[in-house]
Amino acid sequence: MKRWIWLLVLSLAIGAGLAWIARPLEIHFRWGDRGGQSATLSVNESTARAERTVEEEKGIAGAQALSQAFSAIAREVSPSVVTIYSERTVVNSRSTRGQNPFGGLLPDDFFGPFFQLPDRQPMRGMGSGVIVESDGKVLTNNHVVAGADRVKVTLADGRSFDAKVVGRDPKSDVAVVEIDARDLPAVKLGDSDALEIGEWVLAIGNPFELTQTVTAGIVSAKGRSSVGLADYEDFIQTDAAINPGNSGGALVNLAGQVVGINTAIATRSGGYQGVGFAIPINMAAKVMDSLIRTGKVTRGYIGVTLQQLDPDLADNYGLDHPQGALVNSVTKGSPAEDAGLESGDLILQLDGKPIRDREDLRLRIGEMQPGTSVELTVMRNDSRKTIRVKLGEMPSDEELASGGGGADESEAPSFENLGLSIARIDREARQRYQIDPDIEGLLVINVEPGTPAADAGLREGDILVDAGREPVTTVAQLKDQIKKTPPGKTVLLKVRREDANVFLALRVPKS
């Protein structure tokens, strides 16, 4: 028994000795006159830390290199990003002038001016832009300067200039303005087609009036369409923070090249939620060049209405997934009719390259010049055939609204005299302005300040339902009603605005 006890004690002693030998070696340092000034260094801990530093060194160096790249790009590109201020005069259609808030209990003029709002009020906006030419050309979004009476550009160095609008293209949401300045720092334009999903990008602009703001993110998607922001959409999607005021600013790659023009965000709160959209610079540059040369954009046109394919329709055409653009109808007298396209044709290829969907075909045709001859591969009656089409020129919105053939401007007053621009209500318009499917009429897309249309209280987004107590669904019908109205008199308009009907009196000018 004693032997077992001694063996147990001996084992415990040996275990304790081994534990003491294997303990971390600690070196104690003491300095100063006070005993509290000391430190302890564990040799084992120091070795582990050294090992972790070696393992993480490459990652830390990579992060530092990326941070330095961001800083270098911001220093290089930020001087080329400007702030754009716009101002326009709007008609206050909710003015209470002449109205008695007490419904006849007191004389109509009892309150005088106290219940009168100004007929016209200034509306100010702010956005961003990028200097694309050292002689003062600035690229931005159309919605930043649309309808502005005055545009001012402020440079990164604080200098401000009055600007003139060189040209606007609402269909792509691109605009060019110019200031009287020279030797400006112009950006370098990159190749947006070469962008890869997952690639780092920086967004530079002026959100919430916070000028020269830089945010970072990645390209989260390419080729976004059907967003409802413009007629021609091919957006770069990014999670770099974009907020109100960023519109028109630069989306920049790690080479310091502008690859996109920041345009909008997808949000339910009104602020950044991780999804922003930028116009690819390749698309914006084409529009910009045309605006600088001619002040407008000329696009190709074939003259068809297109329908998106769903899985059931794709299966009916013998496809395993939706692809291409389905011809819904062919406009009379259009290039499509001349070439022999028919309703029900499924357009699968353009010049040998596959068509992704309806928006893809519209965008690619629109980028071509009128007179260009293109080759369409279509599926018809379970067989493929090739049709060659010579593109025409995209008609104006008024011509499209009148049925595609245009109206004889000599037979009726020009809408320019009224300060009114209208368009037909298509699917994109219904989506953008949230128009109910059962509402028919003409969509007001622009009202010029100080014109009869503005005086009548018309607004962008209004829907003209009736004119002269007659329904209007085409430009020709509206012009007929205006033509019947003697100069200087008013034509009664029934307008659908938001969820209510409003009656307005549009005065036909004498000249």
- Segment 192-234, tens digit of pLDDT: 999 999 999 999 999 988 888 999 999 999 988 877 777 788 8
For 401-507, CATH gives 2.30.42.10
CB 365 within 8 A of CB 342: no
* Rounded-to-integer distance, Cα 52 and Cα 280, Å: 43
Q: What is the pTM of this model?
A: 0.65
Q: Are 238 and 203 in contact (CB under 8 A)?
A: yes
pLDDT of 93 reads 46
CA–CA distances in Å: residue 99 to residues 37, 106, 108, 219, 502: 84, 11, 7, 54, 16
Catalytic residues: 143, 173, 247
Average pLDDT over residues 60-67: 85
CA dist., res. 261 & res. 252, Å (int): 9
CATH match for 56-96+121-297 among 3.40.50.10860, 3.40.50.620, 2.40.10.120, 3.30.460.10:
2.40.10.120
Domain with CATH 2.40.10.120 in the chain: 56-96+121-297
Burial degree of 473 (CB within 10 A; 0-12, 13-18, 19+): middle
* Percentage of the chain lying above the pLDDT 90 cut: 39
Q: What is the pLDDT of residues 331-388, one digit of tens each?
A: 888 999 999 999 889 999 999 999 998 889 999 999 899 999 999 999 998 889 999 9
Largest CA distance in the chain: 131
**Using CA atoms, how far apart are residues 211 and 153, in angstroms rounded to an integer?**
12
Q: Specify whether the CB–CB gap between 265 and 276 falls below 8 A.
A: yes
Q: Which helix (H) or strand (E) holds 335?
A: helix 335-339
**Average pLDDT, whole number, for the chain?**
81
Other residues' Cβ atoms within 10 Å of the Cβ of residue 479: 22
Give CA torsion, residues 151, 157, 159, 161, to 10 deg.
Answer: -30
Residue ranges of the chain that CATH labels 2.30.42.10: 301-393, 401-507
Domain 301-393 = CATH 3.20.20.120? no
Residue 318 has which token pair? 């013998």
Q: How confident is the model at residue 282 (pLDDT cuts 50, 70, 90)?
A: very high
Residues belonging to the chain? 511
The winner for highest mean pLDDT among 212-216, 224-228, 468-472, 477-481 is: 212-216
Rounded distance, CA 140 to CA 128, Å?
7
Q: Residues 86, 124: contact at Cβ < 8 Å?
A: yes
pLDDT in tens, 305-338: 888 888 888 888 888 899 999 888 888 889 999 9
Determine the pLDDT at residue 299.
Answer: 92
